[in-house]
């Protein structure tokens, strides 16, 4: 993009982000942000429960409902593209698809992925057939139904944006109200059942949230891409936390940011479709988290691995120094020199000798603990790198040294007599 073209684009983008780009742009941007918030929060439980593919089946099962609702409303003399009616029809067929997946999983010997594959393909194929039939019908306003596949926000009405916002608010409220039983079921269904939680109904509630988010997201993101908005924000949040409530908040925030910024980008560039841009923004947040997250990011993992490798080399170098063995590995030598444990000529410094002596003594302590304690959990924590002071108290270390000193003395006497 050239500088001349970039300035109008940036101006339009900032106007859209600040809700100054016009009434329709503000409606779309706010609606997409609310949709992303609801999708992120609901998707967190779908992600934790490992039901991602079920949401895909639910989304594809909405298409025949949209088509059937259009046919009914058009032949009844109404507006066949009335959004609440289309959403109601999509919700009905999605609910039927969800029920069929649950029934086939529990009443037959089919696995869940087989049930999902059957429902997804049959319902979507039926929807495509109905979509083709509608194009041949002699009714008005049938054009544009295919935009529900990938979403379309062009010409969104205020009533449509209000419907989406209200449904998103209901979804967020349901997530908040049901967060505790859904958390129990997501992590330990057996324990949840012992506490009185109905696991099957809770699973259906989780899928019901997926259904609700899918239905309200049809206008903006489309049924093909809505599953991405349900799953990617939750996967993004998992990089940043191990706590469920924090994961829900981060997923909701990531989804809201992707929806809001994606819709603003689409408004600033006329030819960019809103739904795919929102999904790409969500993936951008995922990619950034994948790289820079301090908990599970690629860079942090590489840094931890590098630190671990250096600790191993330093430990082995100290033990070699204490035993009078030569050190050939160049990385080990560099680490010992960097830490001031050996001089450039390879001779140990005073600090190096002290550290080597302690490393050898700690090795002897751990060995004695393993031999004398049997199944002692302290002995099982030995990894060769953790300082003994971080695992044992000073009294425990002193008790080991009391047993260790006579053995070391005896070993030195035996060495002297043999000479």
Domain ranges of the chain: 7-293, 299-412
Query: Which pLDDT band holds residue 418 (cuts at 50, 70, 90)?
Result: very low
pLDDT of residue 281 exceeding 90: yes
Tell which residue, 167, 194, 168, has the closest CA to residue 181. Answer: 194
**What residues form DSSP beta bridges with 342?**
348
Query: Which pLDDT band holds residue 412 (cuts at 50, 70, 90)?
Result: very low
pLDDT of residue 284 exceeding 90: yes
Which range has the top average pLDDT, 19-33, 236-250, 387-401? 236-250
- Would you tell me how many other CB atoms lie within 10 Å of the CB of residue 37? 26
Q: Stretch 269-295: mean pLDDT, rounded?
A: 89
- 102-115 per-position pLDDT tens digit: 888 888 888 888 88
pLDDT of residue 174 exceeding 70: yes
pLDDT of residue 417 exceeding 50: no
Supply the pLDDT for residue 234: 92
Supply the pLDDT for residue 298: 92
- What are the helix (H) ranges across 269-418? 274-292, 298-322, 330-338, 350-373, 377-380, 394-418
Q: Stretch 64-85: mean pLDDT, rounded?
A: 82
Supply the pLDDT for residue 186: 86
DSSP string, 86-98: HHHHHHHHHHHHH
pLDDT of residue 250 exceeding 90: yes
Query: Which pLDDT band holds residue 225 (cuts at 50, 70, 90)?
Result: confident
The two three-digit tokens of residue 316, written as one number: 């082995």
The two three-digit tokens of residue 191, written as one number: 């324990």
The two three-digit tokens of residue 195, written as one number: 């506490």
What's the CATH code, domain 7-293?
1.10.3470.10
- 121-140 per-position pLDDT tens digit: 899 899 889 888 887 777 65
Lowest mean pLDDT among 171-175, 197-201, 411-415: 411-415
Tell which residue, 207, 296, 217, has the closest CA to residue 262. Answer: 217
Q: Greater confidence, 266 or 281?
A: 281
């Amino acid at each position: 993009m050239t500088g001349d073209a970039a300035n109008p684009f940036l101006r339009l983008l900032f106007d859209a982000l600040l809700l100054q780009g016009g009434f329709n742009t503000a409606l779309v941007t706010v609606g997409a942000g609310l949709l992303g918030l609801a999708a992120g929060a609901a998707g967190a439980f779908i992600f934790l429960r490992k039901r991602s593919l079920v949401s895909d089946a639910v989304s594809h099962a909405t298409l025949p409902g949209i088509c059937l609702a259009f046919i009914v409303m058009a032949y009844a003399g109404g507006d066949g593209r009335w959004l609440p009616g289309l959403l109601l029809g999509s919700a009905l067929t999605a609910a039927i698809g969800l029920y069929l997946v649950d029934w086939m999983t529990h009443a037959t010997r089919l696995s869940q992925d087989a049930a999902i594959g059957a429902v997804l393909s049959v319902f979507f194929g039926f929807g495509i057939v109905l979509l083709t039939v509608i194009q041949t019908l002699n009714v008005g306003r049938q054009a544009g139904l295919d935009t529900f596949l990938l979403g379309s926000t062009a010409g969104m009405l205020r009533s449509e944006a209000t419907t989406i916002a209200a449904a998103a608010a209901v979804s967020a409220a349901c997530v908040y109200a049901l967060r505790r039983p859904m958390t129990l079921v997501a992590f330990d269904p057996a324990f949840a059942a012992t506490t009185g939680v109905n696991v099957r109904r809770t699973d259906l509630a989780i899928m019901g949230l997926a259904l609700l988010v899918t239905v309200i997201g049809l206008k903006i993101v489309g049924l093909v891409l809505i599953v991405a908005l349900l799953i990617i924000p939750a996967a993004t949040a998992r990089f940043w936390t191990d706590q469920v409530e924090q994961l829900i908040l981060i997923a909701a925030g990531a989804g809201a940011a992707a929806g809001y910024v994606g819709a603003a980008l689409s408004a600033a560039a006329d030819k960019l479709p809103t739904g795919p841009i929102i999904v790409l923004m969500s993936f951008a947040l995922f990619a950034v988290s994948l790289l820079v997250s301090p908990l599970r990011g690629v860079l942090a993992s590489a840094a931890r691995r590098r630190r671990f490798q250096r600790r191993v080399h330093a430990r082995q170098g100290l033990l070699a120094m204490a035993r009078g063995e030569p050190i050939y590995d160049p990385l080990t030598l560099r680490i010992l020199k960097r830490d001031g444990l050996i001089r450039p000529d390879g001779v140990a410094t005073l600090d190096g000798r002290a550290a080597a002596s302690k490393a050898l003594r700690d090795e002897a302590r751990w060995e004695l603990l393993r031999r004398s304690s049997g199944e002692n959990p302290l002995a099982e924590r030995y990894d060769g790198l953790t300082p003994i002071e971080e695992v044992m108290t000073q009294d425990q270390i002193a008790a080991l040294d009391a047993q260790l000193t006579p053995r070391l003395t005896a070993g030195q006497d035996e060495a002297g007599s043999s000479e």
